[in-house]
Amino acid sequence: MATIKDIANKLGISVSTVSKGLNGASDISEALRQTVLDTAVEIGYTTKKMKKEEHKKLCVFIENMDYETNNQFGYEIILGFKQAAYRDKWDITVLPINPTFQMQEKYDTYMLKNGYRGGFLLGFSLQDNWMSQLNSTTIPTVLFDNYIRKNPNVAYVGTDSFEGIDIAMEHLISLGHKKIAFLNGSPNSMVSEQRMQAYLDSLAAHNLTFNEKLTAYGYYVAESAKYHIPSFLAEGATAILCGNDLIASGAIMECSMHGFRVPEDISVIGFDDLPISAHLDPPLTTIRQNRVELGKCGYFALSGLINHVSISRTMLHAQYIERASTAPAKEHKKTV
């Protein structure tokens, strides 16, 4: 259980200053107060004030996404959401769920019964039971990376996949790459579909011909690589764009197993910028999704819906992170 002392040590300030921050005293700056609150949230310290106000409850539902440790995708999204929500004195519950859970009770029923004013849903699949119920939910609900048409109570937040893929493609094309393979994530994901479309749009925009053998859907895990990279190499790919950083880490390993050096022989680009990505060999060039900001946007959108501002979607800019996994194109005749 974290204490005020832990916050003081982490920030290198006195316990009394921390307590001023937590209690909203007037004689410390707003900026410092918010830093104290953010740190309290980060290390899991909650004041009695935070614990009170039972009527102000939001629930974060999470599925198909790791979030417990700070190197996992969901961790910072939830952190950002909490940091923004606590400033408005919301009490947040984070609930990992699964399809069975969704069969047991309707979404609206669960929310009302438990007194939740709004929900933030992470990692849901298009087939999930609750997803179809969201077409008609009356509960303010924000989806990460999923979109529900025509329900004024539901908003979608995410990173602009089109912008992200286009930035990656432009970078590879500027390095002379023409045979750019795309190893996408799971097929049952809206984001995967967007990124595939973005890949096709980008090829067309740069007058590059589409080669079906240079694209594949896998899953958002490293293991996907071994099933598809060999055929990409056989097809003469000089660069591989990956649906996320985990796939990219698998791709780098798979390429070297086939005697292709990254980036000398073949370039690899990821998506997400997970903490591990800077420590891969070579360090991964990727497209950053700022997950703390995504979490904050999730809260801003939910707060809007709760206040009857009918937000449909909020997208964040994708950010290009150049490291060492890309280089100028090099034709290769090697067979695999």
Site map 148..167 versus a second copy, x via CB under 8 A:
-xxxx-------x--x--xx
Question: 150 — alpha (psi -120 to 50), left (phi > 0) or beta?
Answer: left
26 by Cβ neighbours in 10 Å (0-12 / 13-18 / 19+) ranks as exposed
The SS3 of residue 325 is coil
Is position 317 an interface residue for a second copy (rule: CB under 8 A)?
yes
Q: Give the residue with the Cβ less far from a second copy, 15 or 25.
A: 25
Site map 254..293 versus a second copy, x via CB under 8 A:
------------------------------------x--x
Q: Which stretch binds a second copy (CB under 8 A): 9-17, 42-50, 240-248, 311-319?
A: 311-319
Of 300, 268, 244, give the one whose Cα is nearest residue 74. Answer: 244
Contact yes or no for 28/17 (Cβ under 8 A): yes
Site map 20..39 versus a second copy, x via CB under 8 A:
--------------------
The SS3 of residue 94 is strand
Contact yes or no for 247/221 (Cβ under 8 A): yes
CB of 15 to a second copy, least distance (A): 28
CA distance 225 to 251: 5
Site map 87..126 versus a second copy, x via CB under 8 A:
----------------------------------------
Which residue stretches of 236-290 are H helix?
Answer: 245-257
Is position 311 an interface residue for a second copy (rule: CB under 8 A)?
yes
CA distance 32 to 4: 15
Residue 244 has which token pair? 């996320």
Q: Which stretch binds a second copy (CB under 8 A): 86-94, 97-105, 247-255, 308-316?
A: 308-316
CA distance 13 to 223: 45
Q: Give the residue with the Cβ less far from a second copy, 9 or 136.
A: 136
* Contacts (Cβ under 8 Å, ≥6 apart) of 140: 117, 118, 119, 153, 302, 305, 306
CB of 313 to a second copy, least distance (A): 5
Q: Which stretch binds a second copy (CB under 8 A): 117-125, 184-192, 220-228, 295-303?
A: 295-303
At 268, the amino acid letter reads V
CB of 76 to a second copy, least distance (A): 13
Is position 319 an interface residue for a second copy (rule: CB under 8 A)?
yes
Of 222, 231, 212, give the one whose Cα is nearest residue 274. Answer: 222
Among 296, 302, 325, 329, binds a second copy (CB under 8 A): 296
DSSP label at 64? S
Is position 300 an interface residue for a second copy (rule: CB under 8 A)?
yes
Binding residues for a second copy, total number by CB under 8 A: 25
Is position 201 an interface residue for a second copy (rule: CB under 8 A)?
no
Which residues lie near a second copy (CB under 8 A)? 149-152, 160, 163, 166-167, 290, 293, 296-297, 300, 304, 309-319
